[in-house]
Structure 1
Amino acid sequence: MESSLVEGGLNVTLTIRLLMHGKEVGSIIGKKGESVKKMREESGARINISEGNCPERIITLAGPTTSIFKAFSMIIEKLEEDISNSMSNSTATSKPPVTMRLVVPASQCGSLIGKGGCKIKEIRESAGAQVQVAGDMLPNSTERAITVAGTPQSIIECVKQICVVMLESPPKGVTIPYRPKPSGSPVIFAGGQAYAVQGQHAIPQPDLTKLHQLAMQQSPFPIAHGNQCFQDLCVVSAGMDASAQTGSHELTIPNDLIGCIIGRQGAKINEIRQMSGAQIKIANPVEGSTDRQVTITGSHASISLAEYLINAR
């Protein structure tokens, strides 16, 4: 399977999501969209670019493997060309590597890293590129960024090997895709829906709505009718509920499952803290007890979301 994919002969449909800065995306789109039009025509891949009012944007490549990697190669070549052009106007002596960021479901990252990091080490060595898997999930999503840097050929080889792993280990559970948001825009929850505030407009945010609804379904708190936060409007900034009072909730988790919650070097529990905005403390093991006490502190919404994410683990 690996050799046929690397040679571009495996006739499967792939989807690759790339996270790029606005300036890079502008270069790929080209004047009046000429550059991206050429990429679509020559590769045969579907190339979709997320809306442009954000500092970062998602480029989605979809199609058969041969088309995908043709489009991917053209994008890499364009970025390499931009670096070369910037070097001609610079006093720098060493040429920086091309850097790409892939966005993948967090549930597939374990297979990509491998036991003790063996798989990602193998990919680094065979492809000759630098590969780094982010420890935390991207905001309001269940996806992580994978940064790949090197020569165009080493990046292409590296991404092919990443795709092999992802085809062999499909994502588990529901994936909430990362969608870049305008920087610094507050989020409100009204009528059970999430909205990002941009100027005088409120833009619906389906991913945040889904997270919020999941959290509310799992809520350990009775939602009182007089609670203004949930019945009417709930303002959230940087993952914390600014208008709700803080509280705490305790969970009991079996010792043999606590490792799943904490993750390697605390990576999983830190993800849950970041996504929910709640403080989470895990008590030390008590002699003779088969359970561990977990205390979650924060707003009602952040506690509910943290509990949902812990149960999902």
Structure 2
Amino acid sequence: MDSGVIEGGLNVTLTIRLLMHGKEVGSIIGKKGESVKKMREESGARINISEGNCPERIITLAGPTTAIFKAFSMIIEKLEEDISSSMTNSTATSKPPVTLRIVVPASQCGSLIGKGGCKIKEIRESTGAQVQVAGDMLPNSTERAITIAGTPQSIIECVKQICVVMLEVSSPPKGVTIPYRPKPSGSPVIFAGGQLTKLHQLAMQQSPFPMGPNNPGFQGTRDLTIQSFCRNKVQRGMDASAQTSSHEMTIPNDLIGCIIGRQGSKINEIRQMSGAQIKIANPVEGSADRQVTITGSAASISLAEYLINFLVLIGGAGF
């Protein structure tokens, strides 16, 4: 598809999330914010830069497609200028390519790669850019990074074609997208390297947690901290907890392994901790999701659902 379709789509609101190192972000911001202010004014795009003293920062570009790609082009030009400036006193004989990363929902990466890698190969050949889709999701998210390297024009053309794929009706994001949020350097990660048992002990100190994907609080914060556990504490009677019922969840295929674990170790541990029966439906041809049915008391269902959501949130890491 011609990338001009995107540029001409003035009624399409587009969002591009860039993952950059702190030094690169400082250059984009400029002295007293002058550079990013100029980009906002000249492009008409909304440009938001994540806060925090982090090694990495997220730059979010949002707005009509024409505004987005104007702002994106200005960012690429700035990165190109920085590379040229760094070459002034360098002994290198060739200038390195401009390199950046964009983040996209992991559930859309299959459409971007294509069957047998045909789509990503087509994008590489038509744009001249080097494109690499990360195999693993970014920490505590359901997003992956796509690294693009090349000349400014090849990168711009490459991102346009990626956006065409992302906007196609046949490849919308599946399930809840948990955005990547860079952590400050040296900051502790809740439960990093811990055992699921520790999470269970903490959960049992509270009442059941209705933390499913349809819960507005889950979608609004998605940051699971001890403080949020306490705020979500719910008092329930023993009679209500004793009643047996069923609850269904939908988990994207590419995340189901996070809750199953090696040889079913994680799902079995969740069953033992929660006391709930958990059944994962077989894959359905043509479906990108798997159905998970949880049966038990209200308390056991809530705990099982919470533990499943937590494992999906962290991508199964650390256990």
TM-score range, shorter chain: 0.5 to 0.7
CA distance in 1, matches of 2:268, 2:187: 23
Query: Does the aligned pair in 2 maintain the 1:14–1:68 contact within 8 Å?
Result: yes
Q: Equivalent pairs: percent with the same residue?
A: 91
How far 1:172 sits from its partner (Å)? 1.0
What are the superposed Cα offsets for residues 24-75 of structure 1, whole Å, 9 maximum, x if unpaired?
A: 0000000111100000000000000000311100000000000000000000
Paired position in structure 1 for 2:129: 129
Note if contact 1:221-1:300 (Cα within 8 Å) is conserved in structure 2.
no
- Please, which runs of 5 or more residues in structure 1 have no aligned partner? 193-206
Distance 1:38 1:119, change over 3 A: same
Contact 1:216 1:301 in 2 (8 A): no
Q: Deviations over 1:190-227 (max 9, x none)?
A: 999xxxxxxxxxxxxxx999999999999999999999
Other-structure match for 1:200:
none
Determine whether 1:215 maps to 2:199. Answer: no
> Which secondary structure state, in structure 2, belongs to the residue aligned with residue 175 of structure 1?
coil
DSSP 3-state at the match of 2:241 = coil
Distance 2:282 2:33 in 1: 58
Give the conservation status (yes or no) of the 8 Å contact 1:8–1:66: yes
Q: Is the 8 A contact 1:43 1:67 kept in 2?
A: yes
Asked whether the 8 Å contact 1:241–1:299 carries over to 2, the reply is no
CA gap 1:54/1:10 in 2 versus in 1, 3 angstroms: same
**Would the aligned equivalents of 1:187 and 1:236 in 2 still touch at CA under 8 Å?**
no
Change (3 A) 1:147 1:225: closer
Q: Report how many residues are paired.
A: 296
Report the secondary structure of 1:42's partner residue.
helix
Partners in 2 of 1:79 and 1:43 — Cα distance? 17
* Further displaced range: 95-104 or 217-226: 217-226
1:226 aligns with 2:217: no
In structure 2, the CA distance between the partners of 1:214 and 1:236, relative to structure 1 (3 Å rule), is closer
CA distance in 2, matches of 1:296, 1:220: 14
Seen in structure 2, the aligned counterparts of structure 1 residues 87 and 140 have a Cα distance that, compared at 3 Å, is same
Q: Secondary structure at the match of 2:148?
A: strand
- Structure 1 pair 60/287, CA: closer, same or farther in 2 (3 Å)? closer
Shift of the 260–234 alpha-carbon distance from structure 1 to 2, 3 Å rule, reads: closer
Q: Does the Cα contact within 8 Å between 1:140 and 1:208 map onto a contact in 2? A: no
- If asked which structure has higher relative contact order (CA below 8 Å, sep 6+), I would say 2
Question: How many angstroms apart in 2 are the aligned matches of 1:287 and 1:165?
Answer: 22
CA contact (8 A) 1:189 1:233 kept: no
SS in 1 for 2:164: helix
1:284–1:73 distance in 2 versus 1, CA, 3 Å: closer
Question: Which portions of structure 1, spanning 4 or more consecutive aligned residues, are displaced by more than 2 angstroms?
Answer: 1-11, 187-192, 207-237, 239-311
- Residue 316 of structure 2 is matched in structure 1 by none
SS at match of 2:96: coil
SS at match of 2:247: strand
The normalised TM-score by structure 1 is 0.64
Between 1:57-66 and 1:8-17, the stretch displaced more is 8-17
Residues 211 and 305 in structure 1, CA contact (< 8 A), matched pair in contact too = no
- What is the deviation of 1:252? 17
- Please give the per-residue CA displacement for 1:135-180, whole angstroms capped at 9, x wherever unaligned: 1111111111000000000000000000000001221110110010
- Higher mean alpha-carbon deviation, 301-310 vs 174-183, is at 301-310
Single out whichever of 218-227 and 24-33 deviates more from structure 2: 218-227
Structure 2 regions of 5+ residues with no counterpart?
Answer: 229-236, 310-319
Q: Counting strand residues as a fraction of each chain, which structure ranks higher?
A: 1
**In the superposition, relative to structure 1, how do residues 83 and 270 fare at CA in structure 2: closer, same or farther (>3 Å)?**
farther
Q: Alpha carbons of 1:15 and 1:210: their partners in 2 closer, same or farther (altered >3 Å)?
A: farther
Deviates further, 16-25 or 228-237: 228-237
How far 1:245 moved relative to its partner? Answer: 29
* TM-score of the two chains, using structure 2 as the length reference: 0.63
- Aligned-residue offset at 1:186: 1.4
Question: Cα gap change, 1:241/1:43 in structure 2, threshold over 3 Å: closer, same or farther?
Answer: farther
Contact 1:47 1:62 in 2 (8 A): yes
